[in-house]
């Protein structure tokens, strides 16, 4: 690789990472009241979708704030069912992990539930960016998200691998939580959803 190419790559990565960090900090700040975590998460996906389609916005905070306030009511239509599903799954996983039942069926039940939880997360990860393209109701968006994830197994596996890598990075470098925890997830999900649509059109 030529020196100029390496320099260009470093510059592009630095610009990308700084943008992701700003977006993630915006998400953290606007999520502080807890009840606003849904519109804040929706705003992250909106900005990332715009970024992927039109290039990096010049003023990330301004764009984030615009989507946050403009789509507060709309974000709850899809975001509230997703939040409830994730909350219930998290509570169930916690209780399953604390139980010590020695029956042979219990590990099967536990890992089956873990699998269902992974499917739910993948469905949500595809559904959120797809909701920026399709203006269907929440149930239809979730169905489209599930079908997209199930119909493109290689892309879905790449998403899983990316999430595992992100989790490992944050585990070893906890400070990265403040820079990539949600913006990174939104980037992975949006990239996967858009690429899936491109492959579908080509096929």
Q: Does residue 32 sit in helix, strand or coil?
A: coil
pTM summary value:
0.90
Q: What is the mean pLDDT of each run of 10 residues along the chain (203 residues)?
A: 70 92 96 91 96 91 95 91 91 83 80 90 93 85 93 93 94 93 95 85 56
- Going from N- to C-terminal start, the domains of the chain cover 3-202
């Amino acid at each position: 690789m030529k020196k100029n190419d390496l320099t260009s790559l470093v510059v592009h990565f630095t610009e990308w990472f700084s943008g992701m960090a700003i977006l993630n900090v915006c998400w953290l700040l606007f999520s502080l009241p807890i009840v606003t975590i849904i519109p804040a998460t929706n705003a992250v996906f909106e900005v990332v979708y715009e970024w992927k389609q039109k290039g990096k916005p010049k003023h990330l905070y301004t764009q984030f704030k615009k989507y946050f306030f403009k789509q507060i009511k709309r974000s709850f239509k899809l975001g509230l069912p997703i939040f409830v599903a994730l909350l219930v799954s998290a509570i169930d996983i916690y209780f399953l992990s604390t139980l010590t039942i020695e029956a042979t069926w219990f590990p099967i039940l536990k890992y089956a539930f873990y699998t269902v939880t992974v499917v739910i997360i993948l469905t949500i990860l595809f559904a959120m960016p797809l909701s920026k393209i399709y203006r269907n109701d929440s149930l239809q968006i979730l169905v489209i998200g599930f079908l997209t994830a199930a119909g493109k197994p290689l892309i879905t596996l790449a998403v899983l691998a990316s999430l595992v890598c992100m989790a490992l990075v944050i585990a070893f470098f906890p400070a990265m939580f403040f820079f990539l925890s949600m913006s990174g997830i939104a980037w992975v999900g949006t990239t996967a959803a858009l690429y899936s649509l491109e492959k579908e059109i080509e096929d």
